[in-house]
């Protein structure tokens, strides 16, 4: 026991221990963090409900009104969330009933791609905040291939997807090479590159070549049909081929990290760069490679946007996926399977947004608050352990590393 405490404090001292503890927290902590945030979310829903506030003014003359208003607010919110994200029993046809879940998977796709990339980085000890910029650059390059070039079916999509991966990879390579050669901290560099990517895209969208003919709005033409991800389950569902590709990437990421020599090097560099160097590994090459792979995956998240759902470039093409993906990667404990599940959870939370507003009359921000609460609880494992009386952690990362 004292042994483990010593290891923990040692790791804290070098500053990376905390990140690793968060990135590789126990499954139980993750599950309870989600439950805790749902409970806190209910309290916020009650507080945000006008009916409850109205009924509370005459609480003592008829308390039942207040409680039924509270119950109604919370239940209608979670029912709307369920119907908006998973299954809508009011849909006329079976297709309409399961459409919400298909929407969830569609929204999960960019989160899944970007989360996988970030997860690989986290396990290699690189705290990459740059997925946002990498998504933007991927979408920009791939989108340009999509709307400006005229190519045959199949080849066009392939080149557009590769363009997305390349755009993201370039944006990952820059902080990677800077870190490897000069020691520039990847957090600072990637954050700054996010701004550069966003402003670069905003500027490109002022150019004639990136605008629709006859319009000066900062919005690109739609990508050609030949460059769009085909819909995998027919026209009634928004789910596109990008999701299948994302699942393949998840398998690829698992194989890379768990089965390949390269992945072993990445993990070794993450666990202890000095030891990895002593063992004869090329740490600099590993850092650059990790960032390039992470960037390419984030770029593919851009492809899910520009070739899958949005179909044209605007300055908001990346939405907030680059930052949400950080949460997804942390929630998924940086493991591919965990990231798949976390991405679907977050996809569901996002997909439920419209139903929450329209059906339950809740502000859209409540979804953001629940997401943020999950992050808060994940980032504070002792708090979750205290709340749910969980046992102290047994450091399984010795096994992992």
Smallest gap from residue 365 Cβ to other proteins (A): 8
By beta-carbon proximity to other proteins, the closer residue of 175 and 322 is 322
> Rounded to whole angstroms, how far apart are CA atoms 286 and 257?
12
CA distance 70 to 363: 16
Q: Name the minimum Å distance from CB 358 to other proteins.
A: 4
The minimum distance between CB 25 and other proteins, in angstroms, equals: 27
Q: What share of the chain is helix, strand, coil (3-state, %, to 5)?
A: 75, 0, 25
Give least dist CB 163 to other proteins, A: 21
Shortest Å, Cβ 32 to other proteins: 27
Closer residue to other proteins, CB minimum distance, 121 or 142: 142
The total number of residues written for the chain in this structure: 401
Across 124-227, the runs of DSSP E, i.e. the strands, are none
Identify which of residues 58 and 87 has a Cβ nearer to other proteins in the complex: 58
For residue 120, how far is the Cα from the chain centroid?
13
Asked whether 126 and 257 are in contact (CB, 8 A), the reply is no
CA distance 140 to 315: 10
Q: How far is the CB of 173 from other proteins (least distance, A)?
A: 27
- Compute φ and ψ for 151, nearest 5 degrees: -135, 160
Q: Please name the residues in contact with 137: beta carbons below 8 A apart, sequence gap of 6 or more.
A: 167, 168, 170, 171, 197, 200, 299, 302
Whose CA is closest to 367, among 91, 84, 31? 84
- Kindly state the smallest distance separating residue 62's Cβ from other proteins, in Å: 4
Contacts of 226 (CB under 8 A, 6+ apart): 151, 152, 153, 154, 156, 157
User: How many angstroms separate the CA atoms of 164 and 168, rounded?
Assistant: 6
The H or E element containing residue 372 is helix 365-379
- Of the pair 227, 351, the CB lying nearest other proteins is at 351
The closest of 82, 76, 80, 84 to 49, measured between CA atoms, is: 76
- In contact, 254 and 110? CB cutoff 8 Å: no
Both tokens of 225, joined, read: 């049909």
> Which residues contact other proteins (rule: CB under 8 A)?
56-62, 65, 84, 103, 107, 199, 202, 206, 214-219, 222, 305, 309-312, 314, 316-317, 319-320, 350-351, 353-355, 357-359, 363-365, 367-368
CB 65, min distance to other proteins, A: 7
Decide: 221 and 331 in contact? Cβ < 8 Å. Answer: no
CB nearer to other proteins: give 91 or 252.
91
| 321 touches 135 (CB < 8 A) | yes
CB of 129 to other proteins, least distance (A): 18
What's the token pair of residue 334?
């940086």
- Which residue, 270 or 348, is less far from other proteins as judged by CB? 348
Which of helix, strand or coil describes residue 200?
helix
Instruction: Name the minimum Å distance from CB 164 to other proteins.
Output: 17
Judged by beta carbon, residue 97 or residue 272, the one nearer other proteins is: 97
Name which of 219 and 282 has its Cβ closer to other proteins.
219
Cβ contact 242:303 at 8 Å: yes
Closer residue to other proteins, CB minimum distance, 226 or 236 = 236
Tokens 């009359």 belong to residue: 361
> Please, which residue, 26 or 211, has the CB nearer to other proteins?
211
């Amino acid at each position: 026991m004292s042994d483990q405490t010593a290891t923990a404090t040692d790791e804290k001292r070098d500053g990376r221990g905390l990140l690793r503890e968060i990135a590789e927290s126990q499954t139980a902590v993750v599950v309870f963090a989600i439950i805790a945030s749902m409970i806190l979310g209910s309290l916020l829903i009650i507080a945000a409900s006008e009916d409850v506030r109205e009924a509370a003014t005459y609480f003592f003359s008829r308390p039942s009104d207040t409680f039924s208003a509270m119950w109604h607010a919370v239940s209608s919110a979670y029912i709307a969330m369920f119907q908006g994200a998973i299954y809508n029993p009011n849909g006329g046809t079976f297709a309409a009933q399961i459409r919400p879940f298909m929407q969830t998977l569609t929204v999960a796709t960019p989160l899944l791609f970007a989360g996988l990339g970030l997860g690989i980085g986290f396990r290699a000890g690189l705290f990459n905040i740059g997925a946002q910029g990498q998504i933007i650059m991927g979408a920009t390059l791939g989108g340009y291939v999509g709307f400006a070039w005229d190519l045959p079916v199949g080849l066009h999509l392939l080149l557009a997807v590769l363009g997305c991966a390349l755009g993201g990879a370039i944006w990952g390579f820059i902080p990677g090479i800077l870190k490897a050669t000069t020691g520039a901290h990847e957090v600072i560099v990637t954050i700054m590159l996010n701004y550069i990517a966003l402003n670069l895209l905003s500027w490109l969208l002022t150019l004639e070549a990136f605008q629709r003919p006859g319009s000066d709005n900062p919005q690109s033409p739609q990508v050609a049909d030949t460059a769009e991800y085909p819909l995998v389950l027919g026209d009634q569902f928004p789910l596109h081929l990008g999701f299948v590709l994302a699942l393949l990437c998840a398998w690829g990421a698992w194989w890379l990290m768990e089965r390949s020599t390269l992945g072993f090097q990445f993990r070794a560099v993450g666990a202890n760069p000095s030891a990895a160097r002593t063992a004869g590994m090329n740490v600099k090459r590993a850092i650059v490679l990790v960032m390039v792979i992470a960037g390419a995956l984030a770029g593919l998240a851009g492809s899910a946007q520009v070739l899958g759902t949005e179909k044209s470039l605007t300055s908001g093409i990346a939405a907030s996926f680059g930052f949400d993906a950080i949460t997804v990667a942390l929630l998924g404990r940086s493991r591919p399977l965990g990231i798949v599940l976390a991405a679907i959870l977050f996809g569901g939370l996002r997909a439920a947004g419209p139903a929450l507003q329209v059906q339950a009359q809740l502000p859209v921000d409540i979804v953001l608050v629940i997401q943020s609460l999950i992050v808060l609880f994940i980032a504070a494992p002792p708090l979750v352990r205290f709340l749910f009386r969980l046992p102290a952690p047994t450091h399984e990362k010795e096994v992992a590393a």
